[in-house]
Structure 1
Amino acid sequence: MRKELYGLVICGGQSTRMGTDKSLIDYHGKPQRYYVYEMLEWVCDKVFICCNSVQKESITEPYKMLPDLPQYENIGPMAGLLTAFNYYPNRDFLVVGCDYPYITTKDLKEFAKSVNEEKIASAFYNQEHDLYEPLLAWYSQKSKNEILRMYDKSEFSIQHFLNENEAGKYHPARSKNLVSVDTPEDCQLAKENIIRKIQF
């Protein structure tokens, strides 16, 4: 029987380059954090929005959330993972950030099916930049102790974790959906592309 898989929507931090909270941007008729949540519901048994203390005030029912625990605040996306493992230490997590407006439910389903559960983790791999996408990734319960060890050494890079542990590399069929949108200019272009239903 398949193990339960929990989904995590990573809202992000200060969104400095964007100038506004990326999780609130409307690409698909609703804030991106809710759009991602609803995509994950098709793949996962439970879904949570990982958020900071400010964002949690604006998250409405029926969406479930996991606010960053105080000891993990201000360390980036690792905060969401460590908080989730604190509450659910025996679960695997499928993580999706709010930076990827082109990602589809189909992309996530195909990724979830591809996961090798012998690995400690697996992530979408960006061949163009030769990097993992840490916020499009699966983290097994086995990764908890290693991520905690990094945290104890004040090492907060999930990219580093994925590299050091030789995480699985997933090469998606629609690689252009991996575009991460981080600036107002790219945000406007993404909105226009999505309205025109450009398919990658």
Structure 2
Amino acid sequence: MKTKSPLSAYILCGGKSSRMGTDKGFVRFRDRSFTDWCLEAARQITKDIHLVTANKKYAQFGYPLVEDIHKNKGPVGGIYTALENSATGWNLILSCDIPGITGSLLNHLFERTPEQTSIAFLSSGSNDYPLVAIYHKNCSKYFSEAIQENDLRLMNVIGKLNYERIEIPFSESHNLNNINTPEELEILKKTRYERYS
């Protein structure tokens, strides 16, 4: 457990959102934007929160905006930007399209991340969630190399590092679903949705 270690949080708000047809961070679920849900969860484990995006509209949330160092490099580029910007060793990386994420799940991740690892991410056992994860700043050079080689598959980079899967009960795994399309959003709205916070 490293509950006393400083932690920053970076919410990845970039991406073209081509399948959703609009910027996913502003999509609304239960009268709040996806970004609002992510911020609520992140605030339960740190006050040092940043939004990785070039879209100035995100300034409305009241947190610093960090523009990608390398454009159009997906999550690998977003994580690299976060780690280069960060002043802390440990960094929560969270995709903005996970409206079900909760503080309790993030605390579960944070408290169980071993000091000696480089990356820890939540897993249901059958699915891994590398964008609900804690990355150490020392990973930055590996992400830089991946960008230079244009190998933008996130799990390829993670596979080169010391990582830990932090399992959660399968019954809670629906809280980690990312919502990519209007159809998925409609299904979410029609489903009884229990948040664990």
TM-score by length of 1: 0.85
The one-letter amino acid of 1:138's match is: I
The residue aligned with 2:9 is 7
- Report SS of the residue matched to 1:117: coil
State percent identity of aligned pairs. 21
Shift of 1:89: 5.5
Mapping 1:36-51, distance limit 5 Å: 36-51=38-53
Structure 2 CA distance for aligned equivalents of residues 47 and 4 of structure 1 = 12
Determine which of 133, 136, 143 is the counterpart of 1:147.
143
- Change in CA separation of 1:35 and 1:178 when aligned onto 2, cut-off 3 Å: closer
Tell whether 2:131 aligns with 1:135: yes
- Report SS of the residue matched to 1:9: strand
The residue aligned with 1:91 is 89
Shift of 1:62: 1.9
Structure 1: 4+ residue segments shifted above 4 A: none
The residue aligned with 2:167 is 171
Structure 2 CA distance for aligned equivalents of residues 49 and 191 of structure 1 = 26
Structure 2 CA distance for aligned equivalents of residues 85 and 197 of structure 1 = 33
Determine which of 159, 163, 175 is the counterpart of 2:155.
159
Higher relative contact order (CA 8 A, sep 6+): 2
Structure 1 CA distance for aligned equivalents of residues 12 and 113 of structure 2 = 20
The one-letter amino acid of 1:181's match is: I
Q: Is the contact made by 2:38 and 2:98 (CA closer than 8 Å) also made in structure 1?
A: no
The one-letter amino acid of 1:162's match is: I
Aligned-residue Cα RMSD (Å) equals 2.1
TM-score by length of 2: 0.86
- Report SS of the residue matched to 1:161: helix
Q: For 1:90-114, what per-residue CA distance to the aligned partner results, in whole angstroms no more than 9, with x for missing partners?
A: 4321011122222211111111111
The residue aligned with 1:187 is 185
The one-letter amino acid of 2:138's match is: K
- Change in CA separation of 1:120 and 1:58 when aligned onto 2, cut-off 3 Å: closer
- What 5-or-longer segments of structure 1 have no aligned partner? none
Structure 2 CA distance for aligned equivalents of residues 142 and 7 of structure 1 = 16
- Report SS of the residue matched to 2:60: coil
Structure 2 CA distance for aligned equivalents of residues 67 and 199 of structure 1 = 31
Shift of 1:76: 0.5
Q: Is the contact made by 1:117 and 1:140 (CA closer than 8 Å) also made in structure 2?
A: no
Shift of 1:50: 0.7
- Change in CA separation of 1:157 and 1:58 when aligned onto 2, cut-off 3 Å: same
